[in-house]
Amino acid sequence: MTIVRFPLDRLEQEAFEAGAPAAERLIAGVPKFRTWTFEEASDGKTFAGVWEATPGKWRIVYDEWEYCSILSGISVVTPDGGAPQHLRAGDAFVIQPGFAGTWEVVETTRKLFVVKLP
């Protein structure tokens, strides 16, 4: 068995993947993403790491299952037809497959994630 640690204390020194929401999903702002992936399971469908986004709002649609734990910042995730979920440091949650709505980053948000693809 192996333990994979996430180097949160030196994250800025680690390589990351830059990204942004797809143009057709963008609602407001010019959000930018940084993703540090520290684990990819041999099944090719499970991975974990740290994700960060700057302020903005975009549409999200999930086919995958994702566990999240907010490390810093403030975001609002709103399901289609549902109440906004205000998320801050210390909040942990799961987004289930079939979720559709919006993700708004109010203050640059950093989260731990574990994703399981279908």
Residue 109, domain CATH:
2.60.120.10
pLDDT at 2: 87
Number of domains in the chain: 1
* pTM of the predicted structure, to 2 decimals: 0.95
Residue 5: inside a domain, yes or no?
no
* 8 in a structural domain: no
Return d(Cα 40, Cα 116) in angstroms, integer: 10
94 domain residue, yes or no: yes
Whether residue 9 is contained in a domain is answered as no
Domain assignment present for 28: yes
How many Å apart are CA 84 and CA 61, to the nearest integer? Answer: 15
Contact 60, 22 (CB under 8 A): no
Burial of 21 (0-12, 13-18, 19+ CB in 10 A): buried
Structural domain including 88 reads 16-116
Q: Return the bridge partners of 81, or none.
A: none
Q: What is the mean pLDDT of each run of 10 residues along the chain (118 residues)?
A: 90 96 98 97 96 98 98 98 98 98 98 98
106 is a domain residue: yes
What integer pLDDT is reported at residue 117 of this predicted model?
97
- Domain assignment present for 105: yes
- Tell me if 3 is assigned to some domain: no
